[in-house]
Structure 1
Amino acid sequence: MGVDVAGLTRRFGAGRPALHGVDLAVRQGEFVALLGPSGSGKTTLLRILAGLEFPDAGRVRVGGRDMAGVPARARGVGFVFQHYALFRHMTVFENVAFGLRVRPRARRPAEAEIARRVRDLLALVQVPELERRYPEQISGGQRQRVALARALAIEPPLLLLDEPFGALDAQVRKDLRLWLRGLHDRLGITTLFVTHDQDEAMAIADRIALLRDGRVVQFDAPEALFEHPADAFVAGFLGDSNRLPCVVAGGLACFAPLPLPGMATSLPDGPALAFVRPGALLAAPGEGAVVQGVRHDGRALHLVVAAGGRMLEAAPAPGWDAPRRGDACALSIAEARFFAAQQ
């Protein structure tokens, strides 16, 4: 089921809007991450889609149906909250069955059907042995799976997840996000997923909507966002980059006081910013900078160098196999992305 958002605006009080003219079109069966810094509007957008908030302006359509005035209970949307919101006084079985039991009598399945569906879902999320336990008796990762099973029990055409891995440790997060992506691929449910973790979004989303100050800055595939950022915010937000002020004159960017050679750019004359990935800032034996740190991640060497009063992340140039802390070096740029400074 596709989702179409047009001109969505939401204000809380007299400050700037939490959402400001948001447009978004999600294709049926797509897995989309809503990514951005705190306060960018991600959760507000998700809550409006769920019917837990209503916009001040704009339109939401889910599967072609206008959601204006449609309450959350009538939308048939599965929602997984950041802290799971499991009922502590209910067993895992009863938590998953809840959405089915509260349906109007005419639409409520028989008890045998509820039991079958709950057990099928617990098997699907790989925790069938937990049905008699209570939420406080299971781990955070297990609670996450139970919360997802509860959201899926109503067979929603649209699944919304609000930072579902935020309370978990790093390894559990990694395992669960890959499991979630596999589950999505098997079920084919349109899914929107809020996160502030760019690695998470890049790893599992088909497309990423990057939000800033209540606006969608760029909506594209992960590799397109990384390789072709729309502006300086996107370039600086995704991945690690050295953010280097420069001045453009006659098509040449000059980086003084940094000891870097000038670099050609198509920007007009004036102040600018260059974003240089650590692997594209190359250090070689020479003068102008000093190696302050050396780290090996199992695949490559990573350097921290001091130059022009700044600490920069760099990589050893081809042929420099054993840089050490304290070595003098010269820097060069293999590739950079330039943006006018006012952006």
Structure 2
Amino acid sequence: MSVEIAGLTRRFGAGRPALHGVELLVRGGEFVALLGPSGSGKTTLLRVLAGLDVPDAGQVRIDGRDVAGVPARARGIGFVFQSYALFRHMTVFENVAFGLRVRPRGARPREAEIAARVRRLLELVQVPELERRYPEQISGGQRQRVALARALAIEPRLLLLDEPFGALDAQVRKDLRIWLRGLHDRLGITTLFVTHDQDEAMAVADRIAILREGRVAQFDEPAALFDRPADAFVAGFLGEANRLPCRVAGGLAHFAPLPLAPVPAAVADGPALAFVRPAALVATPGGEGVVRGARHDGRVLHLSVQLGDTLLEATPAPGWEGPRRDDRCGLRIASALVFPADAAD
């Protein structure tokens, strides 16, 4: 099921629009993450797609059909809220069955079919033993799986997830996002997933839409966003980066007064801002910098290096074993993303 969003705008009061001319095309069967800072419009966009909110302008087409005026329950969309929104007075079984039981009589499955479908779904999300329990009797991760089962009970071809793992601890989040991606692949449905966690988005999504102030700043595959950001906002928002003011002249970015060699920059001459990933800022023994700290992320050693009045994140050069606090070091920029200063606001 494809999703096409054209010129979508939503205002709340007289302030800046929550959504402002959003354009997005999601292919059928794709797993797309919506990523951005708080207030960027992620949840509003999801609610408009679900039919829980109405846009002021623009169009939403689901599988080629304009859904303006189509109520939420008639869109055939599964929606999982951040709070899970399970009914506390219902067992797990009844929560999952709810969407089937409230259908009009002519479209409602028979009771035996409802029971069979609920139990298949509880098997699918790997909690079949919980059907008689109530939400307060199960863990947060289990409630998340039950909420997904309830969303899937109506057999949606489009699944919308609003920060579904926000209340869970890091390890449970990691396990569930891997499981969710596998579930998506097995079912072949289209999934839109709101998250504030960049690692989560990079790990599970086919493509990521980065939102800023109600607009889509860039929509691309994770590697392309990281390596070829469309603007300074995306470069600074996604991943870690050192931000270095510079001046471009003759195709080179110069970093004076910092003792860093110029690097190529494909922007017009003038003030600019360079984003240098820690892996692209190479520290070598001896020089004008001073190591102020070190941390290991499980894969790479990161150094905090003071260069003049500036504190930078760098990676030791191959062969430099065990750099320590207060070691002197030099810094070399292997690559940088450079944008004109007036485009970096």
In the superposition, the TM-score normalised over structure 1's length comes to 0.98
Matched with 2:267 is 267
Matched with 1:21 is 21
Alpha-carbon distance in structure 2 between the residues aligned to 1:128 and 1:195:
28
Alpha-carbon distance in structure 1 between the residues aligned to 2:155 and 2:52:
19
Alpha-carbon distance in structure 2 between the residues aligned to 1:94 and 1:107:
18
Matched with 1:333 is 333
Matched with 2:80 is 80
Instruction: Report matched runs for 1:281-292 at 5 Å.
Output: 281-292=281-292
**Cα displacement (A) at 1:266:** 2.4
**Cα displacement (A) at 1:234:** 0.7
**Cα displacement (A) at 1:36:** 0.5
> Root-mean-square deviation (CA), in Å?
0.9
Instruction: Report matched runs for 1:237-316 at 5 Å.
Output: 237-316=237-316
Letter in 1 for 2:312: L
SS in 2 for 1:248: strand
Matched with 1:188 is 188
Alpha-carbon distance in structure 2 between the residues aligned to 1:298 and 1:78:
37
Kindly indicate whether the alpha-carbon contact (under 8 Å) linking 1:293 and 1:304 is maintained by their aligned counterparts in 2: yes
SS in 2 for 1:172: helix
Matched with 1:37 is 37
Residue deviations 1:113-134 (CA, integer Å, cap 9, x gap): 0000000000000000000000
Kindly indicate whether the alpha-carbon contact (under 8 Å) linking 1:259 and 1:289 is maintained by their aligned counterparts in 2: no
Alpha-carbon distance in structure 1 between the residues aligned to 2:277 and 2:296:
17
Letter in 2 for 1:235: A
Alpha-carbon distance in structure 2 between the residues aligned to 1:274 and 1:248:
10
Residues 1:187 and 1:276: Cα distance change in structure 2 (over 3 Å) = same
Kindly indicate whether the alpha-carbon contact (under 8 Å) linking 1:206 and 1:222 is maintained by their aligned counterparts in 2: yes
Number of paired residues? Answer: 343
Residue deviations 1:229-276 (CA, integer Å, cap 9, x gap): 100111111111111111112322111232211223222111101111
SS in 1 for 2:256: coil
Alpha-carbon distance in structure 2 between the residues aligned to 1:184 and 1:313:
37
Alpha-carbon distance in structure 2 between the residues aligned to 1:323 and 1:116:
61
Alpha-carbon distance in structure 1 between the residues aligned to 2:153 and 2:225:
34
Kindly indicate whether the alpha-carbon contact (under 8 Å) linking 2:263 and 2:335 is maintained by their aligned counterparts in 1: no
Matched with 1:104 is 104
**Cα displacement (A) at 1:297:** 3.6
Matched with 2:164 is 164
Alpha-carbon distance in structure 2 between the residues aligned to 1:207 and 1:144:
23
Matched with 1:50 is 50
Alpha-carbon distance in structure 2 between the residues aligned to 1:223 and 1:248:
26
SS in 1 for 2:203: helix
Instruction: Report matched runs for 1:133-148 at 5 Å.
Output: 133-148=133-148
Residue deviations 1:155-204 (CA, integer Å, cap 9, x gap): 01111000000000000000000000000000001110001111100000
Deviates more, 1:123-132 or 1:237-246: 237-246
SS in 2 for 1:342: helix
**Cα displacement (A) at 1:53:** 0.3
SS in 2 for 1:236: helix
Letter in 2 for 1:284: T
Alpha-carbon distance in structure 2 between the residues aligned to 1:168 and 1:211:
24
Matched with 1:10 is 10
Letter in 1 for 2:258: L
Letter in 1 for 2:313: E
Which 5+ residue runs of structure 2 have no aligned equivalent? none
Matched with 2:90 is 90
Alpha-carbon distance in structure 1 between the residues aligned to 2:210 and 2:294:
33
**Cα displacement (A) at 1:318:** 2.5
Residue deviations 1:44-101 (CA, integer Å, cap 9, x gap): 0000000000100000011111111111111111000001000000000000000000
SS in 2 for 1:133: coil
Alpha-carbon distance in structure 2 between the residues aligned to 1:298 and 1:224:
24
Alpha-carbon distance in structure 1 between the residues aligned to 2:100 and 2:216:
35
Alpha-carbon distance in structure 1 between the residues aligned to 2:17 and 2:144:
31
Letter in 2 for 1:4: E
Letter in 1 for 2:22: V
Matched with 1:130 is 130
SS in 2 for 1:47: helix
Identity %: 79
Deviates more, 1:261-270 or 1:196-205: 261-270
In the superposition, the TM-score normalised over structure 2's length comes to 0.98
